[in-house]
Structure 1
C-alpha cells in the first residue's frame, strides 16, 4: 500500500498563503524554509503550516490542490478545516 498524500497550506512571512502537496509535510516545510522549495516560498519565506488534509493518492491530492488554489484567500483555510473535520 502506498503512503498517503497531503494537501497543506503554509502561511508566509508576508501574510500570503501557499498550498502544495507532499507525502511528508515536515520534510517539505523544511525544504520551503531553507529555500529549496517552490519559487514562491523562496521569495516569501514560510512561517508555519496552517492546515493539512490527507488523500489516498497523488491524483486526488492534486485535484484538491488545484481546487484550493482557485479559492479566494479567505476561503482557503476554511476549506482545509472542512476537509479535516469531514474525515
Structure 2
C-alpha cells in the first residue's frame, strides 16, 4: 500500500508527500529526518492522507495535489473530515 499525505508544519505551511509507511514517515518528519522542507518546521501534524495501490498512482496523486492552491488543499483536508 502507498500513501499520499498532507501535513501542516508549525509555521502553518502545508507539505505534501508520499510513503509506504505513513506512521514512520510522520515520525521521521518530526525528528528532522524527513524532507528538507519540513526540517526546522517541526512539529508537523498529519492533516490528510489517501491510500493508493501503486507507487505510480501515488506519485501521480502527489503531483496533482502539489499543483493545487493552498485554498484547494485546505478544502481537500476539510472535505475529508
TM-score between both structures, scaled by the size of structure 1: 0.83
Aligned length: 81
Task: Report the RMSD for the aligned CA atoms in angstroms.
Answer: 1.8
Q: Structure 1: which 5+ residue stretches go unaligned?
A: none
Q: Structure 2: which 5+ residue stretches go unaligned?
A: none
Structure 1 runs of 4+ aligned residues shifted over 3 Å read: 79-82
Task: Indicate whether 1:45 and 2:55 are aligned.
Answer: no
Question: Alignment partner for residue 13 of structure 1, among 7, 10, 15?
Answer: 10
Distance 1:22 1:74 in 2: 24
TM-score between both structures, scaled by the size of structure 2: 0.89
Give deviations 1:20-51, integer Å, cap 9, x for gaps: 00111110000000011000000322431001
